[in-house]
Amino acid sequence: MRAYEIDRSIAVRRPPEAVFALLADVQDVEPIPRRAPVEMVKEPLGATRIGTRWHERVRLLPGWWLRIESVVTELREPNLLGMDFRSRPWSGHLTYEISTDGDHGSVLHHHEILRVHRPLSALTRPIGRALERHIRERLADLRLVLEEGAAT
């Protein structure tokens, strides 16, 4: 199974604690990006910790939903949140690293390793490239939610 790696970062005018808090309860602000039809449930409710799960449904086309199951495998608040994810067509690992940037800002780093399962494994690169576009949009929308939330 071939792996596709995605590395993206974005600066956010919020402290690492605020960025981490949003990621740890992202189900409360979904869908991100705003135009994506997403349903997400966190289990158990409450503080995010090793073993916390998210059950996610993403509508790809009318009548066609992709189910994604994620479980937290790494946690170092407020700087690291990592999780394994699995769906029918692919699986992998996502790590969010949050570092301080100046007095009131952060850099949110998204590192993902994607493994596309057979029979789609020959499409790993095009699927990975398409996912990268969505991740760029998602990071920009996360920044918008964080920075707008600071203004209210």
Query: Mean pLDDT over all residues of the chain?
Result: 92
Query: In the chain, how long is the greatest CA-to-CA distance?
Result: 49
Q: Give residue 19's Cα distance to chain centre.
A: 12
Which pLDDT belongs to residue 72?
98
Angle at 23 between CA 144 and CA 53, to 5 degrees: 145
Q: Band of the pLDDT at 2, cuts 50, 70, 90?
A: confident
Structure tokens at 143: 């920044």
Specify the range with the lowest mean pLDDT, choosing from 22-26, 28-32, 117-121, 126-130. Answer: 28-32
Q: CA 134 to CA 47: how far, in whole Å? A: 27
Structure tokens that stand for 29 in this block: 């602000």
The pTM assigned to this predicted structure is: 0.92
pLDDT tens for 46-66 read 999 999 999 999 888 888 899
CA distance linking residue 81 with residue 75, whole number of Å: 5
